Amino acid sequence: MYDLLDRVGGPGGDDVDLRVGGIVLFRGGVPMTGPFQRAVKGNVEHGRREEAIATLAADGRIRDLAVLVRTRGLPGGLRRRAIDGLGRCGAEEALDDIATDSTVPDELRRTAERR
């Protein structure tokens, strides 16, 4: 399971990158603004976060959706939307992995199993 934010910096903390599951949100203090970033940012309106997840599904970004499902700190409703997106993408392998991943909350595992 991923922590919501992971700070990775150079020596002395210069040019800090802010990442979620290895995907860069900020590079050297400059925000990155793709749909994945909108989905995880807490200061983005809930509806826009849902739209961002729908965009990820429409684009077939299975890895990003799977990361969202496993991201601690992300509201459960958004994590369920990511599972739904995986289902729309036909990502059976990713859903099977989530359904058997003991680090994912039981409710989300059951949801993935039903997809």
Q: What is the pLDDT of residues 43-67, one digit of tens each?
A: 889 999 999 999 999 999 999 999 9
What percent of the chain has a predicted confidence (pLDDT) above 70? 71
Tell whether 15 is covered by a domain. Answer: no
| Of the candidates 59, 109, 107, the residue with the CA atom closest to the CA atom of residue 85 | 59
Q: Is the pTM of this model over 0.85?
A: no
Query: The domain containing residue 50 runs over which residues?
Result: 34-114
Tell whether 1 is covered by a domain. Answer: no
First-to-last alpha carbon distance for the chain, in angstroms, is 20
Parallel/antiparallel/unpaired status of strands 23-27 and 6-8: unpaired
CB 85 within 8 A of CB 114: no
Tell me how many domains the chain contains: 1
Complete DSSP assignment for 75-107: -HHHHHHHHHHHHHHT-HHHHHHHHT-TTS-HH
Tell whether 78 is covered by a domain. Answer: yes
Predicted confidence band at 14 (pLDDT cuts at 50, 70, 90)? very low
pLDDT at 86 over 50: yes
